[in-house]
Structure 1
Amino acid sequence: MTSMLYTHGSTPLFASQVDQRLHYCLHVPRELPDLPAPLVVIQHGTGRTAQKYRTAMRDFAEEHKVVVLAPLFPAGLIDPDDVHNFKFIEYRGIRFDLMLLAIIDEVAARYPVAADRFYLHGFSGGGQFTHRFLFLHPQRLAAASIGAPGRITLLDDSLPWWLGTKGFQERFGRSIDLDAVRRVPVHMVVGSEDTDTFEINNPGESNWMNGCEKTGRTRVERLDTLRRNFESNGIKVIFDVVDGAGHSGSAVLPAVQRFFGSLIGR
């Protein structure tokens, strides 16, 4: 069928039916197992390179017979100058965690995927989204891979959101289920040379809070701070530092694929 050209393999960008300002693309192997296929979600960062990440995961999808979903949450929603919206989960009434879950429901209505528990990786701004999504929906995650977030949220009720989790329940309508978070396999990954600081040390801009500087000078240091915070709360972490890599999502993707590959089909 002609439609198979567009619904299988690497697909075009589709508008989400829950909010047509939001989009997604997929890689769907033409042959899937009879059982629901694992679903791997790759969340882009500030550059919105959803299609690039989807294409980079194409061979992995074919080898492991998984469906890869790459959401696209555009910059400039409401505020034409905004580029950060999805990273902090809620933006001007848009709950990006719920939007992702709605997109997954749309995908599950079309393809035989295991939508109840999926694999989530995000790099840079996507890494910010991923660890905050983990706090909100651990029961939906088969695993979480957190790549090089420039700003982190610590499990610390003495610090205001988003530096910490003070007021989390009032903000999001649910508390953090730490026992459920502890059951999710967690991977953190960053390049050893991810040490540029101009973008992540920017007091006065919309994605800055005083106190952020205390979590580390570089993304390497900040991710290590997040690791130590997780481990102090009983959350086991596999921590990968990719030798020689800078701030590059594609450079750390092989480590992500090894992590997910070790879990899929177990």
Structure 2
Amino acid sequence: MRGTSTRMGRRSVLKGIGTGALGTEAVALTGHGAVGTQRATSPSATETPVTLVSPDDDAPFNYPYFLYSPQSVTEKPRPILVEPNNTGSSTDDFSEHREAARDAIENGFPRGISDELGVPLLVPVFPRPESDPVSWRHYTHQLDTETMHISSGPLKRIDLQLIGMIEDAKGRLSGEVSDQVMMNGYSAAGKFVNRFTVLHPEMVTSVTAGGVNGMVTLPIAEDKGHTLNYQIGVADFESITGEPFDLEAFREVDQYIYMGAEDTNDTLPAGDAWSDEQREIARDVYGEDMQDDRFPYCESVYESGGASAEFRLYDGVGHTVTDEMYRDVVEFHNKHADIPNRDVQSPDRDTQTPDRDVDIIDLLNAFGVPTEAAFVGSIITLSGLSYLLHRTGDD
């Protein structure tokens, strides 16, 4: 899947970031016994704690991040896996964002990837405010255009703040760490990692983005009679980032973009995800139907632009993460992220894909959990239920 062009060197992206005021304390954490923890918890999990890193006055980021590194016997460079936090709703209570990020790194989908592949995991704790310091129309967890146009305050250029977190984490991790990162995200976080990859392709070696409403940011400046500004395209890229879109570096990133064929979670009508002006352009450019119009259109644009991207629809699946999706994400990164072979596999997972598929909707019904409330709370943690049943063999 990889293209032939040379990767671009890292740009000087950390200039101009405000400093933080949230303190410098690092807090050691360990997994705890909720149902979803079984996906990630292993003997090594209690020996290798999760750490909460808060910014000091000189840090190039204004918010804390969680960092975890599984035990590894290899001395070869390993990429960091980055999973943006996704709370599911806007709130000015920062503790909700922090606990959702903690849950993802201790118990969820990304922790399973980290343990299986033996790579460090970083989860930022960016707020998704209701009114402070910005309004609810700034969908920070999607890295939308309103977020990218924040010109001052603690949420200015959170894409650069994330890069600052990554660089800080490299200095804290024992052993060699690769220059580039792996990225994974689903739903809003899937949008975030796709858009971050467009913004900073030189930082990313492989990215998996799921539940993206049929729409990804396009590596083109115009189409169908419209100028395509960010978050649709890259026409105004230089005015936002100070540099032109790097198509050659973008072509070098291995991308897996996926969603359920029965997914009905369309963000296009949402006032926090799209402005009125961009919504109409998006509808005209992408189309109405997520699976029949938008997804194949995006695939054709990526293909025409020479992107190393694979698009996949999963039959019979809605807005959820199935075990098949999980396995495909793990295998994609394992194949494309230049991960060194480990002499010892993580003991908490079978190396074989289970024989049967269990859908999260079925699991929610079995456990008596209301579907809507569950997904708003944490879609990532609920994916752990699927793994638990596979491990126990319980029907």
Cα-to-partner distance string for 1:77-113 (whole Å, 9 max, x where unaligned): 5125346025126141311221111000111111035
Q: Is the 8 A contact 1:46 1:125 kept in 2?
A: no
CA distance in 2, matches of 1:75, 1:90: 13
**Is 1:65–2:118 an aligned residue pair?**
yes
The AA in structure 1 aligned to 2:67 is L
Of 80, 102, 109 in structure 2, the residue corresponding to residue 51 of structure 1 is: 102
Identity value in percent: 25
Q: State which structure, 1 or 2, has the greater radius of gyration over its C-alpha atoms.
A: 2
State how far apart, in whole Å, the 2-side matches of 1:40 and 1:232 are: 28
* 1:58-207 alignment runs, 5 A limit: 58-76=111-129, 77-79=132-134, 81-82=136-137, 84-86=139-141, 87-88=143-144, 90-93=148-151, 94-111=156-173, 112=175, 114-150=177-213, 151-158=215-222, 159-197=228-266, 199-202=267-270, 207=274
Give me the whole-angstrom Cα distance separating, in 2, the residues matched to 1:188 and 1:105. Answer: 26
Distance 1:237 1:211 in 2: 24
After the TM superposition, which of the residue ranges 254-263 and 97-106 deviates more from structure 2?
254-263
Amino acid of the residue matched to residue 127 of structure 2?
P
Higher deviation after alignment, 83-92 or 178-187? 83-92
- 2:283: which partner in 1? 213
Q: Could you tell me whether the CA contact under 8 Å between 1:14 and 1:25 is conserved in 2?
A: yes
2:50 alignment partner in structure 1: 11
Secondary structure of the residue that 2:83 maps to in structure 1?
strand
Contact 2:82 2:122 in 1 (8 A): yes
Where does structure 2 lack aligned partners over 5 or more consecutive residues? Answer: 1-26, 31-45, 89-96, 223-227, 342-395
> Is the Cα–Cα contact under 8 Å of residues 104 and 115 in structure 1 kept in the other structure?
no
d(CA) in 2 for partners of 1:185, 1:52? 27
Asked if the contact 2:61/2:164 (under 8 Å) is kept, the reply is no
1:219 shift after superposition: 4.2
Q: How many residues align?
A: 262
Structure-1 separation of matches of 2:29 and 2:87: 30
| 1:149 positional shift | 2.1
8 Å CA contact retained: 1:124, 1:147? yes
Q: What SS class does the counterpart of residue 200 from structure 1 fall into?
A: coil
- Is the counterpart of residue 256 in structure 1 residue 340 in structure 2? no
| TM-score when normalising by structure 1 | 0.84
Structure 1 stretches (4+) deviating beyond 4 angstroms?
3-8
Give 2:117's aligned amino acid.
H
Instruction: Out of 161-170 and 51-60, give the one that drifted further.
Output: 51-60
1:126 is matched by which residue type in structure 2?
A: A
The worse-fitting range, judged by mean Cα deviation, of 182-191 and 154-163 is: 154-163
CA contact (8 A) 1:11 1:26 kept: yes
Tell me, in whole angstroms, the C-alpha distance in 2 between the residues paired with 1:8 and 1:175: 45
Counterpart residue number, 2:77: 36
Task: Supply the distance in 1 between the matched residues of 2:204 and 2:69 (Cα, whole angstroms).
Answer: 20
Partner-residue secondary structure (3-state), 1:25: strand
Distance 1:20 1:157, change over 3 A: closer
C-alpha deviation, 1:119, in angstroms: 0.5
Q: Which amino acid aligns with 1:234?
A: G
* Higher RCO structure, 1 or 2 (CA under 8 Å, sep 6+): 2
Which residue identity does 1:92 align to in structure 2?
I
Measured in 2, the distance between the counterparts of 1:37 and 1:29 equals 11
- Structure 1: stretches of 5+ with no match in the other structure: none
Query: More strand by proportion, 1 or 2?
Result: 1
User: Which is worse superposed, 153-162 or 91-100?
Assistant: 153-162
